[in-house]
Structure 1
Amino acid sequence: MAELVATMVVGPLLSILKKKVSSDLLGQYKEMKGMEEQHAILKRKLLLILDIITDAEKAAARRAGVATWLEATKKVAYEANEVFDEFKYEALRREAKRKGHYRELGFHVVKLFPTHNRFVFRNRMGRKLRKIVRDIESLMTEMNTFGFQNQQVQPVTNQWREMDNDIFDMKNITSRSREIDNKNIVDIIVGQANNANLTVVPIVGMGGLGKTTLAQLVYNDPEIQKHFNMLLWVCVSDVFDVDSLAKSIVDAAPGKKDDGTEALDSKKKNDGTEAAASKKKTPLDILQNVVSGHRYLLVLDDVWTREVHKWEKLKARLEHGGMGSVVLTTTRDEGVAEIMGTVEPYNLKALEEKYI
């Protein structure tokens, strides 16, 4: 059973990868020039794997071969996420340089690559992408032998809450790998119960360390579930658009009307005045309505932007939550953690070898 636990995050991981692969930035700044064919193949293959991943995850509980296939898929997905993070970083770097924000956003001091020469970059990244495509095609060949059924993948924002507890045993995971990290972050969060100001806790670490998985463990921790009366999860990943992000947060909140207020009892009369007023509300207004008076935990997963004014605009509305409200963020960028955090960032270290 222990070997099966890690495979259960493959679906959300692939969904995140699909979003990165489809990023408009990649085409806009021509980072993938010369790699269009591999890019298109990967897009198609990802969709095919996503079609059957739910069935594959269920089958892993009773078929050792499927569990091994999922582990291999997870490994390739992590590698591919890394590659597309590099593409996205380079796209953002060029965009910042073009707009004159290069030094303001810190790109002159963040050096992820040996060189910014675009020919060297494309050559190196082309080799990485071709390897990933070969690995994906091999996985597809194996996949076709299992006879999986097409099943719709649940959205990333909801799937964290709804996994089969018989397979996805949170206590089993934490006892094997991130028990101490999970406890430390839960203690930090719960310790803010009497804080009238919004607390922002960043989890920082390089790609592939399991920041998202750790945030998921915290999110599902029984103490957290009891402590908060509203739990929200949003994957940011790409461009930090304030209105779109506000809408995503509202969409993650259960039992809300379009204007963010509590759903009215069906017997209550609505004379149309309230409805007319709600149409004028902006996504940020609605977000403020949703969080007002609630002690909430919001996970903002995979944040990249260093644009302070955008974060401050969103934060101003999130601050209307109840006492002890917390935003938990995951990022690989220490600059992002410094901008967003109100407490010391939690720096995630690599797992001990016995857990890998």
Structure 2
Amino acid sequence: MAEVVAAMAIRPLVSMLVNKAANSLLDKYKVMEGMEEQHKILKRKLPAILDVMTDAEEQATEHRDGAKAWLQELKAVAYVANEVFDEFKYEALRRESMKKGHYRKLCFDVIKLFPTYNHIVFRYKMGRKLCRILQAIEVLIAEMHAFRFKYRPQPPVFKQWRQTDYVIIDPQEIASRSRDKDKRNIVATLLGQVNNANLAVVPIVGMGGLGKTTLAQLIYNEPKVQKHFQLLLWVCVSDIFDVNSLSKSIVEASPKKNDDTDKQPLDRLQKLVSGQRYLLVLDDIWNKEFHNKWERLKICLEHGGMGSAVLITTRDKRVAEIMGSDRAAYNLNALEDHFIKKIIEARAFSSEKEKPVDLVKMVDEIVKRCCGSPLAATALGSVLRTKSSMNEWKALSSRSSICTDETGILPILKLSYNDLPSHMKQCFAFCAIFPKDYKINVEELIQLWIANGFIPEQEEDSLETIGKHIFSELASRSFFLDIEEFKGDKHYRFRLGVLFQKYM
């Protein structure tokens, strides 16, 4: 599956190249003088490559080595070509600045900051670079025909921006009601350990997207739990189970963290929990090869007070067995259909408009395709929101793979990703620079998108406003998770969703 997601990051790269090659500034300031013919050929052939990428990605998914190698070569060429067209754009902006007299306004000293340009040297240097790119593109086009990739032009994307606050989270009351019985059962188990001298390990097991983390959050925030435990700790583990790093993360997650930074993380952890009745949530454990590491961590955690407990969420029952739970894992069942329907309708239809009767009837059929996964329902509902006809809804409903026990929710997330316009794909792919489970500041991320030129300019909105709309759309499709307000104002941070956490 890793190849699937890796290939998905190539399309926005090529789309960005297409846009750069078509930039009107290049013609306006004649920065490609003497290279007009090569420029025209590129502007014709690059969109043709985009039109076959869907088929190439599908063949790569089917483990066809030729398609994988073609996509990787396309990625390498696209990176180089993007840099070359950035140089052309820079030269166009330099000429525009000179024409408007900006250099003179900045004084002569500032001119020294800019390299001296010789038009003949520039044309010669850039002409050679452009020819090499064109040769590489010609080879890719020839191989494209040899592999018989099918043309599948991307349909125009229906844009329906959400004009509300850009942090979109599923209503807590839906999650609370849908998992109320599960919450009550696990809360009772945790509170029932009050006289247990041994460390209790309570595992929640279920496939990705089923709502394990949401349930753990409901339990963690339950008033009875908050009152019962003297210390509450939450750490997202993901695929790396390093004892020292995890110990440090647990200590840092506590408001009572000690300042003994010169001591070993395990010693700091032991000091933190000693004599305290605590609840530790270890969210999203994947790694099954950590038996000895867990034993080292457990020795420190056992210094906690009577009634302490560790609540874990995982997709694998073997993780619960390795962690030595003295009780059966709590297997999280699929969400009931009527809750899945509520999530889809909340996403698919605008609250301000009357719901089309024929599309509402389709929801019952679509519910079955989500396999009881609230994350799949959220992502699918957000895709449906951009579709207005019965035929489009039927086409989505009839897809053979949306969410299954074998594939999990990756197919619906990939479908949702493919439905995005290219600039949003590029914004999402850019998030690969962040480590897994890293809390990202939304405002800073939007500024990074702007700085890298990923956000298209529009007359009616500022780049920051468009960036907020893009974040809103990606969040609504479950690509971003755990969105929270911090510092007491309208600043938000989040972590990346399943698509990045497991496959990037």
Q: Using structure 2 for the length normalisation, give the TM-score.
A: 0.37
Aligned residue for 1:319? Answer: 302
Matches within 5 A, 1:20-99: 34-38=7-11
The one-letter amino acid paired with 1:37 is I
Following TM superposition, by how much is the alpha carbon of 1:39 offset from its aligned partner in structure 2, in angstroms? 8.4
1:38-66 per-position Cα deviation (integer Å, ceiling 9, x unaligned): 5879xxxxxxxxxxxxxxxxxxxxxxxxx
Aligned residue for 2:203? Answer: 202
Matches within 5 A, 1:140-289: 141-143=159-161, 146=163, 173-174=175-176, 176-259=177-260, 279=262, 281-289=263-271
Does the CA-based 8 Å contact 2:258-2:272 persist in structure 1?
A: no
Unpaired runs of 5+ residues, structure 2, are 15-60, 72-153, 341-504
Q: Aligned pair in 2 of structure 1 residues 142, 219: CA closer, same or farther (>3 Å)? A: same
1:238-280 per-position Cα deviation (integer Å, ceiling 9, x unaligned): 3111111111110111032322xxxxxxxxxxxxxxxxxx62x
Following TM superposition, by how much is the alpha carbon of 1:182 offset from its aligned partner in structure 2, in angstroms? 0.5
Give the Cα–Cα distance (whole angstroms) in 2 for the partners of residues 251 and 39 of structure 1.
Answer: 37
Three-state SS of the structure 1 residue aligned to 2:281 is strand
Aligned residue for 1:349? Answer: 333
Three-state SS of the structure 1 residue aligned to 2:282 is strand
The one-letter amino acid paired with 2:319 is V
1:110-169 per-position Cα deviation (integer Å, ceiling 9, x unaligned): xxxxxx98549x98xx9xxxxxxxx9x969x544x63867x9x9xxxxxxxxx9xxx965
Q: Aligned pair in 2 of structure 1 residues 352, 35: CA closer, same or farther (>3 Å)? A: closer
Give the Cα–Cα distance (whole angstroms) in 2 for the partners of residues 250 and 39 of structure 1.
Answer: 40
Give the Cα–Cα distance (whole angstroms) in 2 for the partners of residues 217 and 146 of structure 1.
Answer: 28
Q: Aligned pair in 2 of structure 1 residues 169, 148: CA closer, same or farther (>3 Å)? A: closer
Q: Which has the higher contact order (CA 8 A, sep 6+)?
A: 1
1:312-356 per-position Cα deviation (integer Å, ceiling 9, x unaligned): 111111111111000000001011111112321100001111111
Does the CA-based 8 Å contact 2:243-2:297 persist in structure 1?
A: yes
The one-letter amino acid paired with 2:10 is E
The one-letter amino acid paired with 1:313 is R
Q: Aligned pair in 2 of structure 1 residues 232, 32: CA closer, same or farther (>3 Å)? A: same
Aligned residue for 2:18? Answer: none
Three-state SS of the structure 2 residue aligned to 1:246 is helix
Aligned residue for 1:56? Answer: none
1:294-327 per-position Cα deviation (integer Å, ceiling 9, x unaligned): 0000000000111211111111111111110000
Three-state SS of the structure 1 residue aligned to 2:233 is strand
Q: Aligned pair in 2 of structure 1 residues 288, 349: CA closer, same or farther (>3 Å)? A: same
Q: Aligned pair in 2 of structure 1 residues 138, 282: CA closer, same or farther (>3 Å)? A: farther
Q: Give me the CA root mean square deviation.
A: 3.6
Give the Cα–Cα distance (whole angstroms) in 2 for the partners of residues 321 and 185 of structure 1.
Answer: 20
Three-state SS of the structure 2 residue aligned to 1:257 is coil
Structure 1 stretches of 4+ with a deviation exceeding 3 A read: 30-36, 38-41, 116-120, 167-170
